[in-house]
A and B are shown apart, each in its own frame.
Chain A
Amino acid sequence: MSLSRLTCREVVDFLWRYEENELSPEEREAFDAHLADCPCCRTYLATYRETVALEHEAFADLDSWVPETVPEELVQGILAARRATG
């Protein structure tokens, strides 16, 4: 990518490297300069981060969506398969 003036496409394509701190100091400076000038990319970054945060919240409490009972046919299927395989 050209560091003189990043496009929105370049910012989005390399966003993961920005988030993983994998950019060189010069690349990061160019990213930050683009973000300072581009409200769309700033908003995109904020909503991208919010998506990741919601992902973590969605699966944080596994117990809250564990089925009340294990389907009996699954239990019997597993026990039968165990007997069959010795």
Chain B
Amino acid sequence: MFPLPIGCRPRRIGFVEWLPPQDLSDERARPRAPALSAVLGFPAVTAEPSAIASASSGEADLVRRLKAGDDEAYAALVRLHGGRLLAVARRFFPVTEDARDAVQEAFLSAFQALGSFEENAQLSTWLHRIVVNACLMRLRSRKRKPEESIEPLLPTFDELGNRTAAVAPWPDAHGELERKQAASRVRGLIGRLPESYRTVLLLRDIEERDTAQVAEALGITENAVKIRLHRARQALRTLLDPEMRKGFA
């Protein structure tokens, strides 16, 4: 085991502690979002082909009712997809209120754009894209708070470019439980990255948008996207390092 140099030790960096949704007392996690049938009052569907077709026709019916201005259909849409959109927004905003505001803005945008929704598209995919855009608009429009530097989370070198501390390997996390625990920690640690870095990391690595799309969305150069992504990954690696070396027993 090699101690990290002081400058590389992980620490809290100016953000409200970011809790993954499963840790919320008022928004308990569940294996699946509510089924369309449950929200619309239809019989439950199974994975049988006829049932999938029925679910599909249920969504088509929901879209028709939305386009017709049916108030109950709007409520059904929010109850059906709100949880999923909230989970996506929580990735971008450590504070629950901000995430909820982004979801509200996303639904209002979706309501206005319903006329352009194509019948053969999937509501979930369409709404996912809208909520990510709503998060980005919200991040860009709100007054940016001064950010703490990411530098303390990056590797350090002496004047000759040599490392100031050795790098220790991580034991392999082979077990399913170990990997789940590690993944869960990653969700929490991403929330501790400075916002401008966390946003790039989420868009590139998680939302899988390409560099050009991220550059356009954030109003920065493609090179800046690449450098921020690299630094965000390095910082995340630094934060994860002590726990990965210790292992998840």
Q: Which of B47-55, B115-123, B143-151, B235-243 contacts A (4 or more CB under 8 A)?
A: B235-243
B57 within 8 A of A: no
In-complex Cβ contact of B155 among A12, A70, A78 (8 A): A12
Q: Find chain A residues with CB under 8 A from B108 CB.
A: 78, 81-82, 85
> Are B226 and A20 closer than 8 Å at their CB atoms?
yes
Within 8 Å CB of B206, what residues of A?
Answer: 55-56, 59
Chain A residues within 8 Å of chain B by Cβ, number: 43
Whether, in the assembled complex, A15 has its beta carbon less than 8 Å from a beta carbon of chain B, the answer is yes
Q: Are A66 and B30 closer than 8 Å at their CB atoms?
A: yes
Shortest CB–CB separation between residue B154 and chain A, in angstroms? Answer: 8
- The reply to whether A50 and B27 contact each other, CB–CB distance below 8 Å, is no
Check B179–A57 contact: CB distance below 8 A: yes
Please name all residues of chain A whose beta carbon is closer than 8 Å to the beta carbon of B183 when the two chains form the complex.
Answer: 54, 57-58
- The answer to whether A47 touches B91 (Cβ under 8 A) is no
- The answer to the question of B214 belonging to the interface, with a C-beta cut-off of 8 Å to chain A, is no
Inter-chain contact A65/B29, CB cutoff 8 Å = yes
Alpha-carbon distance between A82 and B107 when the two chains are bound, in angstroms? 9
- Chain A residues in 8 Å Cβ range of B88: 62
Q: Which of A36-69 contact B (CB under 8 A)?
A: 40-41, 43-44, 46-48, 50-52, 54-59, 62-69
Q: How large is the interface on B (under 10, 10 to 19, 20 to 34, 35 or more residues)?
A: 35 or more
Number of residue pairs A-B, CB distance < 8 angstroms: 155
B227 sits at the interface (CB 8 A): yes
Smallest distance from the beta carbon of A42 to chain B beta carbons, Å? 9
A40-B166, A64-B31, A69-B83 are contacts. A75–B233 as well, Cβ < 8 Å? no
Point out the residue from B31, B78, B155, B163 that lies within 8 Å of A63, measured CB to CB: B31
Q: Which chain B residue shows the least CB distance to A6?
A: B161
The B contact surface, by secondary structure, is helix
Cβ of B104 and Cβ of A51 under 8 Å apart? no
Could you say which of B27, B34, B234 contacts A12, with CB atoms under 8 Å apart?
Answer: B234
- A19 → chain B closest CB, angstroms: 8
Question: Given A15-B230, A55-B186, A58-B190, 17 more contacts at CB 8 Å?
Answer: A20-B226, A40-B167, A43-B167, A43-B169, A50-B244, A54-B183, A55-B206, A58-B184, A66-B83, A67-B24, A67-B86, A74-B104, A75-B78, A78-B82, A78-B103, A79-B75, A85-B108
Interface CB pairs A-B, < 8 A, 16 = A43-B168, A47-B237, A54-B183, A55-B190, A56-B205, A59-B91, A66-B86, A67-B83, A70-B82, A71-B26, A74-B104, A75-B79, A75-B82, A78-B103, A81-B108, A82-B74
Q: Which 4 A-B pairs have the closest CB atoms?
A: A7-B161, A70-B82, A67-B27, A16-B230
